[in-house]
Chains A and B, each alone.
Chain A
Amino acid sequence: MSRLHAEEMILNMGPQHPSTHGVLRLKLTTDGEIVSKIEPVIGYLHRSFEKHAENLQYQMVTPFTGRCDYLAAMGSEHGYAMAVEKMLDIELPERVEYLRVIFAELQRIASHLVAVGAFGLDVGAITPFIYCFRERELILDLFEMASGARLLYNYIWIGGLAHDIPPGFVEKTYEFLDAFDKRVAEYNQILTGNKIFIERTADIGVLPPEVAINYGVTGPCLRGSGVDLDIRKVQPYSIYDRFEFEVPLGEGAQGTVGDCWDRYYVRVREMEESAKIVRQALDQLPSDGDVQAALPKRIRPPKGEVYFRSENPRGELGYYIVSDGKNVPARMRMRSPAFCNLGVINEIGQGWMISDVIAILGSLDIVLGEIDR
């Protein structure tokens, strides 16, 4: 039989497509079902965060940071607050540090729950998504108790917190943790070991460690490739050096190290580790202390600049802030983890089928809000 003549076809996935997790356009060059090139087109959610920040006082930037990574607003606020505090050289009350860690880690669990659930959804497993959202709801209830909001909190302020936690918060958090430990076993039962799920994700989109580092991939995607790099460990900020937790790494248990399944499973195990941290922080939480004691009255960092990075659920969230001594930042740059993680998709998605590209994209766990800022 003579060979059929096949032409390359450009296929636009998105901007409106359920598997792109937001408003993202992937320009796929396809040869039949096989994708030979992926060109992400971004910017649809660009809201000029960096430009706005140059016209706002430091404390007014906090709510904007949450709107960048809207699935992990506590993490973004925490990173921003720490970056400015570093410039101001503020010493925080112990209670603030502990509460911040509690919120940041709860946020990590909530964010990973969406990642895990939506990843299942991408490859055709509908039920786990509902399970994940059930637990996420409990975390959002806790956040609502503390800050009054469910998604965008404006809770972690420069130098402290917006409010102290309400009575009953600690007990409810313990209740959640007790319930959550059993839930992770449920996810493993329903999704992690599921044969169809493994077939769809193992050995797909393998990301070698040196490629990951070169592309600036961070967070669970990097650790899925077996690179032991967690900023909470290598450059401990806040009070992370006081807690015992492990850094889960991809081991290639179902296929090759650095495949979609590894990136997924690292997130599942990170949720368990985060729950451990929250439990330790609750046990050690000082019962007294004013959470607003260190709030600066006027925020005017001395002339200079800082690059401060922290471990957000999606990876390394860095703030590069330049101050010229005024009460508004002269330059605010957000190094968002998902921006860098998405950049690698052409490298690892080439040669796979269109349906696999969806799995690869899901495993990168992107939030377009922080890619486009």
Chain B
Amino acid sequence: MEAPDIFSVLQAKFGEQIVDFLEEGTLNPTVVVKPEAVLKVCEFLSQNEKLQLDSLMNLAGHDQDGESDLSVIYHFYSTIHDHYITVKTFTPREEPSVVSIANLYRTADWHEREAYDMYGIHFEGHPDLKRILLEEDWEGYPLRKDYVPAEFYRGMRIEKVK
């Protein structure tokens, strides 16, 4: 199935939960979904007989400019039907929260932990949400565009990057 067809199937099924379809400016056509609907949409994507998007290739957090909403991007692939879809969701940067899909796609477990580690996005329902690459006591979320590193970490000076 082509991406626009997948979009219309999703729209018919979920209505207002599906916000937008982005085709221009991206090489991977993207369906924008409300953050609380992510799990329901993903369940449908993975279980619907015509879609069967069984493989989550990639999950990435993204901060556009340090002011507007944070986003999470999911790249799906179907090993059965050989088609692709990208799902995107926006969440406010003050209290970023997205429903976790780690119990549905086990690979998302570590990806979501990384997004939490780097962007501070909270994944509701994640089995073990904690930092993965950085230390537990690291301050701040480094990949946010407005991130300013602390001056010291455990008594060690953090060098300023020009």
Contacts and interface: CB of A to CB of B under 8 A. Distances in A.
Please determine whether chains A and B interact with each other in the same assembly.
yes
Contact of B161 (A55, A215, A344): A55
Nearest to B114: A339
A216 B60 contact: no
B129 to A, nearest CB: 14
A218 to B, nearest CB: 9
B39 interface: no
Nearest to A305: B26
Contacts, number: 88
Given A213-B55, A316-B57, A229 B133 contact: no
Interface stretch (B10-18, B90-98, B104-112): B104-112
B92 to A, nearest CB: 19
B47 interface: no
Contacts of A318: 57-58, 75
Give the size category of B's interface with A.
20 to 34
Interface stretch (A44-52, A159-167, A243-251): A44-52
Contacts of B68: none
Given A43-B132, A307-B86, A50 B143 contact: yes
Contacts of A343: 106-107, 109-110
Contacts of A42: 132-133
Interface in B127-142: 131-135, 142
Q: Interface majority SS on B: helix, strand, loop or mixed?
A: loop
B106 A309 contact: no
Interface string B48-84: 0000001111101011100000000101000100100
B79 A305 contact: no
Contacts of B33: none
B79 A304 contact: no
Contacts of A335: 57-58, 60
B57 A307 contact: yes
Contacts of A46: 133-134
A48 B142 contact: yes
A322 B56 contact: no
Contacts of A213: 54-55, 79
In this complex, the interface size class of chain A, counting residues with CB under 8 Å from chain B, is 35 or more
B75 to A, nearest CB: 5
Interface in A313-334: 316, 318, 320, 322, 330-331, 333
B155 interface: no
Interface in A292-319: 302-309, 316, 318
B118 interface: yes
Contacts of B143: 50-51, 54
B133 A216 contact: no
A234 B82 contact: yes
A214 B118 contact: no
A304 B58 contact: no
A23 interface: no
Contact of B106 (A55, A87, A215, A339): A215
Contacts of B132: 42-43
B60 A331 contact: yes
B28 interface: yes
Most buried by A among B73, B82, B134: B73
A214 B60 contact: no
B156 interface: no
B75 A320 contact: yes
A103 B40 CA distance: 44
Interface of B: 25-28, 54-58, 60, 62-64, 73, 75, 79, 82, 86, 105-107, 109-110, 118, 131-135, 142-143, 161
Query: Lowest 5 CB-CB distances: which A-B pairs, in order?
Result: A216-B107, A304-B25, A43-B133, A335-B58, A333-B60
